[in-house]
Structure 1
Amino acid sequence: MSLRTVLTIAGSDSGAGAGIQADLKTIAAHHCYGTSVITAITAQNTLGVQSVEGISPGMVAAQIDSVLDDIGADAIKTGMLFGEETIRAVVRSLEKRYGKAAQGGRDAAKLVLDPVCVSTSGHSLLPLDAVDSLRTELLPWATVVTPNIPEAEFLCGWNKGSIETVDDMKRCAAELAKKGVRWVYLKGGHMPLPKGDNGEKVVVDLLLDGESGEASMEERRFLDVKNTHGTGCTLAAAVASGLAHGKTVADAVSDAGDYVAAAIAASYPVGRGAGPVNHFHSLMPRSLPLPNHHSPTPFTDYLIRASGDAWTRYVNHEFPNSLAAGTAKLEAFLHFIQQDYHFLKQYARSNSLAAYKTEDMALMAGSNLIVDDVIKETEMHVKYCETYGISRDQLQAVPESVTNIAYTRYVLDVSARGDLLDARVVTAPCLIGYGHVGARLLSSTPGVTVNSNPDLNPYWGWIREYGGEWYQGCVKSGIELLEQTLAKSPVSAQRLDELARIFTKATELEIAFWDAAVEAGKKTRDEVMRHEGLPV
């Protein structure tokens, strides 16, 4: 493969979170070769911009010519351009290299324009007299312009705060497109919108086709963190890198949006103010590795590893071992199967809540499939109980035990209060753990007594169901859904720890659930039946 090159024309950030420095990091992270033209030098850190000094327009033009005459550029990105004469110097250099914008020059240049006007800290980065030149001379060169909401309002001459809804974003983007730009990618990070009734917020980014007028939108979870310095520069450089690789504009901006979201989630503190994003999050050592041949399910592996010995105690519990051996007391099995029936009802409700918490139809469909599988599983429990003379109505009337209530209410509470990932994680130990146990016991693991004769072991059917093809397929689908949910919602290291604590708590409650079955085995069958409210 030939090396793709991206030229960034922007200001220098001495704090290295934005500007030329952020651009070059981003370009490198996208496996392109970055070249640079510096338009201004800033004295800048995480607390703000203290001073700005421009580079002469002649020197800016000389830098552009030097790079393009020798190295060339598969795409170009502009950022802070300092002043009117600098903008005109850039336009003259583009015309010299590519011809007129309207006569094919724009298509050849593949210019991504980040209309840097004001820093996040409020420092003016583009004089008012230069804005007209930006609108009339440089915008027609842009394949994509990537304003945030304040920049879009400024470029259209709208009052600050005019954009309050997604429809306002569409109108503003359409007005920007009339100024000659081919595509408008209007970023919604300054206007997080509520999602559902659990306090979650999302960011809506809008891409408008300047020729057809058609708009598409992408929604990502809003991360309320302070390390967002340089996100505009970073996104525009990522879009330019995508175009350099030959991606369509739609794919380039979508991938860039995902890259920036993950960079924000993976950021770490730098300085005393608004720190930078983590430009090399995909290249640096990760607390959560990318899927690979050794670990195709890294999120699941992380959760299990983070639960410590709780997972080992759970999947090697004496109760399922006694079922495999056929030595479990009937009283223990009856208590378990009846309480598990009630647990599964709440489990189904939790997965229904998970479906409610997403607008991604594939993720919603995955939750619905889990509910369908749970219904099948509860019917297995009904058949077991009927074998022992317990009717469906009697099973339904059995009250939930205190242990079961503690577990099911935790699952429902986390699912109701949390987001989609919370609902997935809190239900994962049950799904995955039963799969581990079933597979382990069905394969007659050394050191565990297994009686696989169904005539001698009345519980062997239970082992066969959970170790068999149907349930193992459910586990595989559930893990894939868990991994996909995380992939579509990048999280910070702190959030990963929070999810691990939820997973561990649910695992401990699973252990308590099986402990209760063992305790029930110490009673007589009549005592168990009376306790469960069943006729003796």
Structure 2
Amino acid sequence: MASRDPGTPPRLLTIAGSDSGGGAGIQADLKTFSAFETYGMSVITAITAQNTLGVKGVEGITPAMVSQQLEAVVSDIGVDAIKTGMLYSSATIAAIISSLSSLYPTASSRPPIVVDPVCVSTSGHSLFPIEALDSLRNDFFPYATVITPNVPEGELLAGLEAGSIKTVEDMLGCAKLLGKMGARWVYLKGGHLPLGEGAGKHVVDVLWDSVEEKEIVSERPFLEQKNTHGTGCTLSSAIAAELANGKSVPEAVRSGADYVARAIATAYPLGSGSGPVHHFHLMGPRSLPLPTKLHPTPFTDYLRNYDRPLWESYVNHPFPNGLASGKMPLPSFLHFIEQDYHFLKQYGRTNALAAYKTENMEEMAASIVIVDAVVKETEMHVAYCEKYGISRAQLMAVEESVANLAYNRYVLDISQKGDLLDNRVVTAPCLLGYGEAGLRLVNASEGVDRNEETNPYWGWIKEYGGDWYQGAVKTGIDLLEKTVAESPISPARLEECCKIFQQATKLEVNFWDAAIEAEQTRGKQ
């Protein structure tokens, strides 16, 4: 078997059918391999006549020719990972297994194999005979490192009734059944089963490790996009590429899913039906789609979803929840109000700096709207302090906490040394997070006390869930989206923005943590 020279990129092999329209099959696989800077090769199992409207015809390649292609590639060039797609027939599967067994006599000598059990095309055309399912499940799955069925394929392969998977628990049950068929890893994709409604509509994927008997459940927003042709092929190829790059299966799956999400989001119109995804979005000038009526906030959503667990821990933090229920100790609230007053002074300066950094009068005016909202917010803090006997002069004299100083320093530093986009991004977690938490709690059906006679903090919650603050949030989001829409950013720049947003969010969490911890010290004073 040929070994790889250190200066040679990872060698990827796809064993799949050809898509004359270029959106799926080996065409999609080879594009994906190239996008991940690997060297792609192909073994063609069948030829299809298809376009964005559907499959017009299918003809298989003889099993002998499939074996000949496979042996020619592996014996000379070598392979670091294999991805399979449309396998066409049980005879083709048998030929592939025979060749793999000859080329790789032991399981340890085989490269990672990602099996995408292609059964039906995006347009609904059957690409795999039902009588070959047993061969796929019983004979080929044991060769797989990971299998990547979607929900309909999972139901079919597991012997479940079509449409029976309706929940995440159902998905996990199906993944466990498939895990008993030989492959250690089962990645059951939920793109065909979006959950939730409206802005909360999302997709859940389940990765099941049948050896450790552990699941990894991931969630991402559902993208309203008709151009999804070849997503399964593209995802399995991306996973194979990342496995060849040395990543673990969970890492490769996460990276592949992120890649496909961006490829869907940046897809361009092509043909009259379900067009292809954008395989080369990593190399193009636009890393994110333009805002649309169906998806008006692609940049904002991407930032929040970059580290979703962190964002959820922030907007569902015990501090605002404690204020909404009225159970937060008063020393914690007073500590927060005092420190947040001093933070907001610097936050206002930072947004004023955003106005300075643009020559666009509309953007300048929008930044001033946010500064005005900050000034109103500080006066709300002053009123609360005076209610509890803390005068404006005393408030001004409060020493800033370590958490406050760290946050202020980071926000001001990023804003001063960076450009307008850096400024928008570093200030976004504060504006967006308070708005999201406030709106959630104002509309909560339980865990809140709306009686201001029994809950002295409810007025604070109402302000952040109210029209004036929500208006400021909308202005901030509009500015974020406009900045990126008018000046597209590279994938590397997008990653920088995400890191800034992530760090600012961590500092927001620390700020609220410090308020809760202040009860221990302030209460004793």
Instruction: Please classify the TM superposition score into its range, dividing by the shorter chain length.
Output: 0.5 to 0.7
For the 8 Å contact 1:9–1:77, the answer to whether it is kept is: yes
1:315-326 equivalences under 5 Å are none
Q: What CA deviation, in whole Å up to 9, does each residue of 1:17-57 have, x standing for no partner?
A: 00000000000001100000111000000000010011110
1:13 is aligned to 2:15: no
1:422-433 equivalences under 5 Å are 432-433=350-351
For the 8 Å contact 2:14–2:83, the answer to whether it is kept is: yes
1:90-489 equivalences under 5 Å are 90-101=96-107, 104=108, 108-194=110-196, 199-286=199-286, 360-362=309-311, 364-365=313-314, 375-376=337-338, 379=341, 432-436=350-354, 471=408, 473-475=410-412, 476=414, 479-480=425-426, 482=428
Q: How far apart are the structure 1 equivalents of 2:219 and 2:431?
A: 14
Q: What CA deviation, in whole Å up to 9, does each residue of 1:276-310 have, x standing for no partner?
A: 10000001222669xxxxxxxxxxxx99xxxxxxx
From 479, 482, 505, give the equivalent of 1:503. 479
Q: What is the aligned partner in structure 1 of residue 323 from structure 2? A: none
Q: How far apart are the structure 2 equivalents of 1:50 and 1:216?
A: 38
3-state secondary structure, aligned to 1:36:
strand
From 70, 77, 83, give the equivalent of 1:77. 83
Q: How far apart are the structure 2 equivalents of 1:84 and 1:484?
A: 57
Deviation, structure 1 residue 503: 2.0
Q: What is the aligned partner in structure 2 of residue 88 from structure 1? A: 94
For the 8 Å contact 1:355–1:368, the answer to whether it is kept is: no
Q: What CA deviation, in whole Å up to 9, does each residue of 1:224-270 have, x standing for no partner?
A: 11010000000000000011111101100010000000100011101
Deviation, structure 1 residue 433: 2.0
For the 8 Å contact 1:355–1:365, the answer to whether it is kept is: no
For residues 469 and 6 of structure 1, do their structure 2 counterparts lie closer, same or farther at Cα, with a shift above 3 Å needed? closer
3-state secondary structure, aligned to 1:360:
helix
For the 8 Å contact 1:47–1:272, the answer to whether it is kept is: yes
For the 8 Å contact 2:13–2:42, the answer to whether it is kept is: yes
Deviation, structure 1 residue 210: 1.5
Q: What is the aligned partner in structure 2 of residue 495 from structure 1? A: none
For residues 131 and 355 of structure 1, do their structure 2 counterparts lie closer, same or farther at Cα, with a shift above 3 Å needed? closer
For residues 87 and 191 of structure 1, do their structure 2 counterparts lie closer, same or farther at Cα, with a shift above 3 Å needed? same
Deviation, structure 1 residue 157: 1.0
For the 8 Å contact 1:87–1:134, the answer to whether it is kept is: yes
Q: How far apart are the structure 2 equivalents of 1:288 and 1:151?
A: 30
Q: How far apart are the structure 1 equivalents of 2:73 and 2:481?
A: 58
Deviation, structure 1 residue 434: 2.6
Deviation, structure 1 residue 272: 0.4
1:513-532 equivalences under 5 Å are none
Task: Name the aligned partner's letter for residue 352 of structure 2.
Answer: Y
Structure 1: where are the runs of 5+ without partners? 290-301, 304-353, 385-428, 441-460, 487-497, 508-536
3-state secondary structure, aligned to 1:233:
helix
3-state secondary structure, aligned to 1:220:
strand
Task: Name the aligned partner's letter for residue 425 of structure 2.
Answer: I
For residues 355 and 50 of structure 1, do their structure 2 counterparts lie closer, same or farther at Cα, with a shift above 3 Å needed? closer
Q: What is the aligned partner in structure 2 of residue 403 from structure 1? A: none
Q: How far apart are the structure 1 equivalents of 2:9 and 2:82?
A: 15
Deviation, structure 1 residue 368: 6.8
For the 8 Å contact 2:228–2:275, the answer to whether it is kept is: yes
For residues 91 and 470 of structure 1, do their structure 2 counterparts lie closer, same or farther at Cα, with a shift above 3 Å needed? closer
For the 8 Å contact 1:82–1:127, the answer to whether it is kept is: yes
Q: How far apart are the structure 1 equivalents of 2:29 and 2:162?
A: 28
Q: How far apart are the structure 1 equivalents of 2:429 and 2:337?
A: 23
Q: What is the aligned partner in structure 2 of residue 395 from structure 1? A: none
Q: How far apart are the structure 2 equivalents of 1:505 and 1:187?
A: 29
Q: How far apart are the structure 2 equivalents of 1:231 and 1:148?
A: 10
Q: What CA deviation, in whole Å up to 9, does each residue of 1:42-101 have, x standing for no partner?
A: 000000001001111010000000100111110000000111111111111110111255
Q: How far apart are the structure 1 equivalents of 2:228 and 2:71?
A: 33
Q: How far apart are the structure 2 equivalents of 1:216 and 1:485?
A: 31
Q: How far apart are the structure 2 equivalents of 1:63 and 1:135?
A: 23
Task: Name the aligned partner's letter for residue 10 of structure 1.
Answer: A
Q: How far apart are the structure 2 equivalents of 1:505 and 1:262?
A: 16
Q: What is the aligned partner in structure 1 of residue 68 from structure 2? A: 62
Aligned length: 360
Q: How far apart are the structure 1 equivalents of 2:24 and 2:272?
A: 16
For the 8 Å contact 1:142–1:181, the answer to whether it is kept is: yes
For the 8 Å contact 1:113–1:236, the answer to whether it is kept is: yes
3-state secondary structure, aligned to 1:41:
strand
For the 8 Å contact 2:350–2:411, the answer to whether it is kept is: no
For the 8 Å contact 2:13–2:79, the answer to whether it is kept is: yes
Q: How far apart are the structure 1 equivalents of 2:155 and 2:217?
A: 19
For residues 180 and 438 of structure 1, do their structure 2 counterparts lie closer, same or farther at Cα, with a shift above 3 Å needed? same
Q: Rg: which structure is higher? A: 1
For the 8 Å contact 1:370–1:474, the answer to whether it is kept is: no
Task: Name the aligned partner's letter for residue 264 of structure 1.
Answer: I
For the 8 Å contact 1:114–1:233, the answer to whether it is kept is: yes
Deviation, structure 1 residue 194: 1.1
Q: How far apart are the structure 1 equivalents of 2:207 and 2:343?
A: 51
Q: How far apart are the structure 2 equivalents of 1:472 and 1:439?
A: 19
1:51 is aligned to 2:51: no
For the 8 Å contact 2:228–2:274, the answer to whether it is kept is: yes
For the 8 Å contact 1:435–1:472, the answer to whether it is kept is: no
For the 8 Å contact 1:266–1:278, the answer to whether it is kept is: yes
Q: What is the aligned partner in structure 2 of residue 41 from structure 1? A: 47
Q: How far apart are the structure 2 equivalents of 1:505 and 1:121?
A: 33
Deviation, structure 1 residue 506: 11
RMSD: 4.1
Q: Percent identity?
A: 48
For the 8 Å contact 1:186–1:206, the answer to whether it is kept is: yes
For residues 232 and 87 of structure 1, do their structure 2 counterparts lie closer, same or farther at Cα, with a shift above 3 Å needed? same
**TM-score in terms of structure 1 length:** 0.60
For the 8 Å contact 2:262–2:287, the answer to whether it is kept is: no
Q: How far apart are the structure 2 equivalents of 1:153 and 1:504?
A: 42
Q: What CA deviation, in whole Å up to 9, does each residue of 1:336-383 have, x standing for no partner?
A: xxxxxxxxxxxxxxxxxx999x9522564389799999944764599x
